[in-house]
Copies of this chain bind each other. A is one copy, B any other.
Amino acid sequence: MKKGKQSYLLNNRIFVKDTSVLVGKRESEGPLKEYFYDVLEDDLFNSKSYELAECKMQRHTLQNLLKKCEMKIDDVDCLMGGDLQNQIFATSFAAREFHASFLGLYGACSTFGEGLALASLLIDGGDFKNIVVTTSSHFSSAERNYRFPLELGNQRTPLSQWTVTASGSVMLSCDRPEEEIVPAITAVTIGKTIDYGVTDANDMGAAMAPAAFDTLKTHFSELSRSPSYYDAIFTGDLGIFGLDLCAHLLEQDGITMPKSFSDCGKIIFSEKQKVFMGGSGAGCSSAVFGAYIYELMKKGELKKVLLVPTGALLNKDSPLQKQSIPGIAHAVAIEV
């Protein structure tokens, strides 16, 4: 049921049947280490390039997801997702090996939110049963695409974030799995493209915070919910500074966020790991959701979660062409 202009209260519960997450070594050494079971020993994953390694990571999580769900690709109506490589190379190439309808998405690091929202709406429409949503990012493939070759050893700026090496896939389904506690998507808010004029390509948090603010504000108002409706609210990868900015924008608008308001990019790394503002990347929210948030929900430690993956819609050339960086964020309510 449509609520307002951007939000949808789903008529059915769209169950998260299972998740599959693979992370890099650095991610496995952070605060969420006990939640990451599947860890890369080296970033190249026995591939000839970081780009091909990322494809292989997606293939790996997709295969693992099917195995965990005890399903075959024939049981999947559609595979959708994306990544940060040009022309979503990693996802498209991984999709070659899964004989199912494929829909490529691009919303930068918000892609996981876009996929969850779209898949839930399609399943809620009645014609789809099982949809896989998958995203990934790789520090080394992103760094050389968006910034500098690693070999240059460029110094990082204080507000920069570290692209997470991770791939996360989830199986959404209209069929309730036979388990006691099953997290399910109940509502979504599809974000608008928001641009406050931020031009620093090393400060993604500031570029995305206004979009997260806009989506959160819209979500609360259209669904007549306050932040306290949720046990926890996680943005995607605003990082430490972006999360503060977002909370500040909400505060200015009369919405006080609870202390539990957090960010996947903020919690995946610790300060000791020297990644400055935290993690980012299309694989950040899918990995943190799939490994950590989903597990807490299954254990009953979190009952109502709002996940708001955020994306910065730039490319390597747009800052050079003196363009500011638009952001986007989609909100997905998950409840048990």
Contacts and interface: CB of A to CB of B under 8 A. Distances in A.
Contact of A114 (B5, B84, B104): B104
Interface in A31-81: 48-49, 51-52, 74, 77-78
Interface residues of A, number: 59
Contacts of A226: none
Contact of A102 (B1, B84, B192): B192
Nearest to A100: B192
A336 interface: no
A207 interface: no
B190 A101 contact: yes
Interface string A183-212: 000000011111100000000000000000
A323 B93 contact: yes
A99 interface: yes
A181 interface: no
Contacts of A128: 2
The complex is assembled from copies of this chain, and their number is 2
Given A92-B193, A106-B106, A86 B121 contact: no
Given A51-B318, A104-B105, 20 more contacts: A2-B127, A8-B127, A82-B106, A86-B316, A86-B317, A87-B106, A89-B318, A92-B313, A92-B326, A93-B313, A96-B195, A96-B326, A99-B192, A100-B192, A101-B190, A101-B191, A102-B190, A102-B191, A103-B105, A124-B127
A108 interface: yes
Interface of A: 1-2, 5-6, 8, 48-49, 51-52, 74, 77-78, 82, 84-89, 92-93, 95-96, 98-108, 114, 118, 121-122, 124-128, 190-195, 313-318, 321, 323, 326, 328
A216 to B, nearest CB: 15
Nearest to A9: B127
B101 A88 contact: no
A113 to B, nearest CB: 10
A169 to B, nearest CB: 16
A191 B314 CA distance: 28
A100 B122 CA distance: 19
Contact of A328 (B102, B314, B328): B102
Contacts of A317: 51, 86, 89
A101 B328 CA distance: 9
11 contacts: A1-B127, A5-B101, A85-B315, A87-B315, A100-B192, A102-B191, A105-B105, A121-B125, A121-B127, A122-B125, A124-B125
Nearest to A311: B104
